């Protein structure tokens, strides 16, 4: 065995002295090992040459296998490094710019929008250039995301740290049974891109927190809040007010839903004007605790998408300074006026 190692060292040294490339030297040593392995297999047990080269093929098989693994690993690293260097040389990935004009397919897809005098071609172009962030891909986020994508919103962000569960599918219609266990943002992304390949979807699989909220919101025109916890609602409101972004907020409770556009930059109250403090936990149970009728999130989430379209296109009168309350159990809708509070710690003057 020592003889083989000495021969390998000699081949390496000779190759180095002659200036032979490393790959060629490794190839020579590999051929030597293969020859030794052949001797171990061909020669009978006890043969002097077989004994001088180890006496058994097992060690050489392991050595050749380990060498092959090391070689494959090094080749993989080399290719990855070359790809990374090529990508770095090309510069950062920049998505291709959309053509200035709509394609024939897009014109046909959005024809029912374009014939509306409140939207028309300019409004559809504004939708195409808009960026909307949806917080939560659950009950409210699911229908809002679907209709925003269908409407042709150019860039849609969605942030959520949850995964699809079986119990979600009773109301979170953007997710399919096959997506159980998948992060909701990726499930929603797949559904939106399948529905409309002309939109860009940006998924953020994480919880919204103070660390990222300001930078994230700054990249969008409108924020939709479809969350189910008050900490995130107050955070979203605070950052949206700071950046002057309109916040479309929806909420659900069993058979009832509500929606409003909180936009202090345009004279409307903010969320904390209307809800100064979070209610006690027993007064605002979650959907899991209190239940919710399946189609209700679809109604309120679709209304949120409508409000986003109105804000972007300038159509109609958005729900600024007003809250719409829908009672599905009795088929009643109430619209109430809401006003800013001078003593509001977030937007008060």
Q: How far apart are CA 271 and CA 158, in angstroms?
A: 20
Residues 252 and 115 occupy one common structural domain: yes
Which one, of 276, 279, 275, 269, lies nearest residue 338 by Cα?
269
User: In the sheet where 332-337 sits, what is the strand order?
Assistant: 200-204, 155-159, 131-135, 222-225, 247-253, 256-262, 322-327, 332-337
Residue ranges making up the domain that contains 81: 2-90
CA gap 224, 246 in Å, rounded: 9
Does residue 205 share a domain with residue 306?
A: yes
Is 344 among the domain residues? no
Both tokens of 27, joined, read: 């190839």
In percent, how much of the chain has pLDDT > 70? 73
Q: Are 258 and 297 in contact (CB under 8 A)?
A: no
313: which 2 tokens? 């296109």
Any idea which residue has 């953007």 for tokens?
174
Token pair listed for 95 = 């998505």
Taking the whole predicted model, whether its pTM rises above 0.75 is answered as no
Q: Is 193 helix (H, G, I), strand (E, B) or coil?
A: helix
Quick count: other Cβ atoms within 10 Å of Cβ 300?
23
My answer on whether 327 and 190 are in the same domain is: yes
Average pLDDT in the chain: 86
State whether 27 and 59 are in the same domain: yes
Give the domain-ending residue among 66, 90, 114.
Answer: 90
Instruction: Give the HSE-up count for residue 129: Cα atoms under 13 Å, Cβ half-sphere.
Output: 12
Domain boundary among 90, 121, 149: 90
Task: Specify whether 20 is located in the same domain as 78.
Answer: yes
300 vs 261: CA distance, rounded Å: 13
> How many domains, in total, are found in the chain?
2
Q: Which of 110, 141, 138, 139 is nearest to 126 (CA)?
A: 110
Strands 322-327 and 332-337: antiparallel
Task: Classify residue 183 by its DSSP letter.
Answer: B
Residue 162 lies in a domain: yes
Same domain membership, residue 29 and residue 176: no
- Considering the domain architecture, whether residues 321 and 178 belong to the same structural domain is answered as yes
75 half-sphere exposure, CB direction, 13 A CA radius: 7
Kindly report, residue by residue over 66-91, the tens digit of the pLDDT. Answer: 777 766 777 777 676 666 565 555 54
Residue 342 inside a domain? The answer is no
- Sequential pLDDT tens for the chain (349 residues): 566 666 666 665 676 677 667 666 666 767 766 776 676 666 677 667 666 666 666 666 676 677 777 667 777 776 766 665 655 555 444 455 667 788 999 999 999 999 999 999 999 999 999 999 999 999 999 999 999 999 999 999 999 999 999 999 999 999 999 999 999 999 999 999 999 999 999 999 999 999 999 999 999 999 999 998 899 999 999 999 999 999 999 999 899 999 999 999 999 999 999 999 888 766 667 777 778 999 999 999 999 999 999 999 999 999 999 999 999 999 999 999 999 999 999 998 6
């Amino acid at each position: 065995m020592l003889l083989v190692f000495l021969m390998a060292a000699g081949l390496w040294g000779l190759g180095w002295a002659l200036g032979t490339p490393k790959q060629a030297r490794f190839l020579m040593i590999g051929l030597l090992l293969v020859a030794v392995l052949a001797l171990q297999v061909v020669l009978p047990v006890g043969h002097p040459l077989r004994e001088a080269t180890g006496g058994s093929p097992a060690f050489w098989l392991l050595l050749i296998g380990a060498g092959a693994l090391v070689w494959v690993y090094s080749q993989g690293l080399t290719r990855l490094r070359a790809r990374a260097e090529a990508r770095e040389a090309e510069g950062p990935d920049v998505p291709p710019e959309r053509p200035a004009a709509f394609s024939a397919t897009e014109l046909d897809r959005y024809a029912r929008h374009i014939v509306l005098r409140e939207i028309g071609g300019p409004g559809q172009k504004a939708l195409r250039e808009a960026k909307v962030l949806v917080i939560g891909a659950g009950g409210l986020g699911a229908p809002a995301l679907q209709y925003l994508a269908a409407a042709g919103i150019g860039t849609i962000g969605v942030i959520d740290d949850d995964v699809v569960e079986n119990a979600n599918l009773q109301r979170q219609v953007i997710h399919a049974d096959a997506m159980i266990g998948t992060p909701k943002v990726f499930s929603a992304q797949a559904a939106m891109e399948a529905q409309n390949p002309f939109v860009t979807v940006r998924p953020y699989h994480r919880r919204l927190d103070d660390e990222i909220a300001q930078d994230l919101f700054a990249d969008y025109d409108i924020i939709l809040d479809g969350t189910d916890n008050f900490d995130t609602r107050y955070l979203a409101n605070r950052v949206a007010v700071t950046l002057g972004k309109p916040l479309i907020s929806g909420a659900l409770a069993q058979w009832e839903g509500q929606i409003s556009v909180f936009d202090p930059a345009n004279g409307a109250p903010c969320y904390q004007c209307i809800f100064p403090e979070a209610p006690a936990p027993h007064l605002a149970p979650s959907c899991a605790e209190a239940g919710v009728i399946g189609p209700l999130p679809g109604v309120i989430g679709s209304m949120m998408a409508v409000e986003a379209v109105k804000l972007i296109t300038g159509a109609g009168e958005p729900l600024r300074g007003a809250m719409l309350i829908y009672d599905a159990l009795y088929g009643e809708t109430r619209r109430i006026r809401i006003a800013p509070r001078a003593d509001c710690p977030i937007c008060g003057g």
